[in-house]
Chains A and B, each alone.
Chain A
Amino acid sequence: MSKRIMIIVFTVLVTVVFVSPISLVYLITKPTVELNEQVFLKRSVLYAAGLSVPRVPAQIAELFDTRVEEKSGRPGTPPYYLVKGQDGQPAGYVLLRSGPGLWGEITAAVGFDAGLEKLTGVDFLKQNETPGLGARIGESWFREQFRGKRGPFTTVGEGEPAAENQFDAITGATLTSNFVKDLLNAAVGQVGDLVN
C-alpha cells in the first residue's frame, strides 16, 4: 500500500516540478501569442478587402486602424468590417463567416465591394482540411481567383476557365471545395441583410 502512495506522491511531485517551467514559458510568450492572433485577423481582413497587405506587423496594424472599422451588426449577428477608401468613404465590407469543412470548421473572411455585388477577396482564417489536398484552399492561386467574382457560385475543375460566378475547385478535394462553395454562397446571401 505504501508503495502505491509513494508512486502517486512521486508522480505528483514530478508533475508540479515540471509544470512550473511550462507555466513560465507560457506566461512569457502569452502577449506574443495574442498579438499574433490579432495580426493574423487583421491581415486576413485587409487581404479580403483587396488592399495590399504589408509584411511588417506594425504596418499591418497601422493600415488596419486607418482603413478598417469594426461594426457590430444587429443583435444576434456577428460583427463585420467596414473598409474605407483613401478619402474616408465606405469602399467595401468584409464579413467573417464560419461553416463546416471536411475535418473541422472553416472560417473565411469574405470581402465585398461597396455595392455588395462583387467580391474583393477571400482569405481563410481557419481550416483543418487534408494537407496537400483540401488544405490547398490556403494557397494563393485559390484565394486570388475570387477577386472580382460575383456569387452565388458553382465550381469547375481545377485549371479550367471559370466564369464570373464560377471558381476552380481543387482536384482530389471535391468535398472541401464544395464546403467552401457553400460557405461563400451563405456569405453572399447574408451580406445584404447584415450590412443594411
Chain B
Amino acid sequence: MNWSSLGPAAVFFGAIFTNNILLTNYLGMCSFLAISREVKSSVGLGAAVVFVMGMTNALNWPIQYYILVPLGLEYLGFIVYIIVIAGSVQLVEMLVERVSESLYQNLGIFLPLITVNCAVFGAVLFMFIRKYTFLGSLAYGLGGGLGWALAIVAMAGLRAKMTRARVPRGLEGAGIALIIAGIMSLAFIGFSGMIPAA
C-alpha cells in the first residue's frame, strides 16, 4: 500500500505548508471566511478541526480497507465517511462544551457545521486517492487540520489589523478576505521546495 517514498513526517509537513488544504486545495472556505474575524475564535475552531480531521481519518482508514473494500461496498463510501465525520463532530462538541463554555458559545453554529466542512471531507477523500498508509493518513489528518488552522488564524490576525485600513466599500467583507487568501496562497507556494523530490 505504501507507494510513496514520503513518510508520515513528510506528509504531515506537506499538509501544513506545501499542500495546505485551504490555500492550495481551496477546501474549507465558507467557515474560514465567516469566522476568521477574531483571532480567539479562529484558534478555537482551528483546534476543533484538527481534532475532527485526525479522528475521522484514523477511523475511516480501517473502515475503508477492512470493511468496505473486502465487501465490495466502496461506492457507499461517501455515506459512511459522512456518518463518521458527524459522529466525530458530536464528540468534539461535547468536549468543547465541557472544557470551555465560553468558546462553545462563541463558536455557536460553526461547531456543528464542521460536519459539512469541505476540508474535513476532502481530507478523507484525498487520503484514499493518494493511498496513504494508516500513519500517513493520520499525519495527513492532523497536518491538514493544522494547515487549515494556520490559514484561518493568520487570516484573522490580518483582518484584525485591517479594521483600521480604508478598504473600498465593494470589497468589504468577503472581497478583501479573498484577496488576502490569494496573497497568502502565493506566499505558501514558496514552501513548495521544502519536500524534496523523491
Contacts and interface: CB of A to CB of B under 8 A. Distances in A.
Contact of A22 (B3, B75, B192): B75
A interface majority secondary structure? helix
A100 B192 contact: no
A104 B76 CA distance: 23
B187 interface: no
Interface stretch (A112-120, A163-171, A174-182): A174-182
Interface residues of A, number: 16
Nearest to B131: A105
A3 to B, nearest CB: 15
Interface string B67-98: 00000000110010001000000000000000
A50 B192 CA distance: 35
Contacts of B99: none
19 contacts: A19-B76, A19-B79, A22-B75, A22-B76, A22-B79, A98-B3, A100-B3, A100-B6, A103-B19, A103-B130, A104-B131, A105-B3, A105-B4, A105-B130, A128-B130, A175-B197, A178-B197, A179-B197, A182-B198
Interface string A124-162: 000010000000000000000000000000000000000
Contact of B129 (A15, A19, A23, A128): A128
B interface majority secondary structure? loop
Interface string B123-149: 000000111000000000000000000
B5 interface: yes
A40 interface: no
Interface of A: 15, 19, 22-23, 26, 98-100, 103-105, 128, 175, 178-179, 182
Contacts of A175: 192, 197
Contacts of B75: 22-23, 26
B91 to A, nearest CB: 15
B131 A100 contact: no
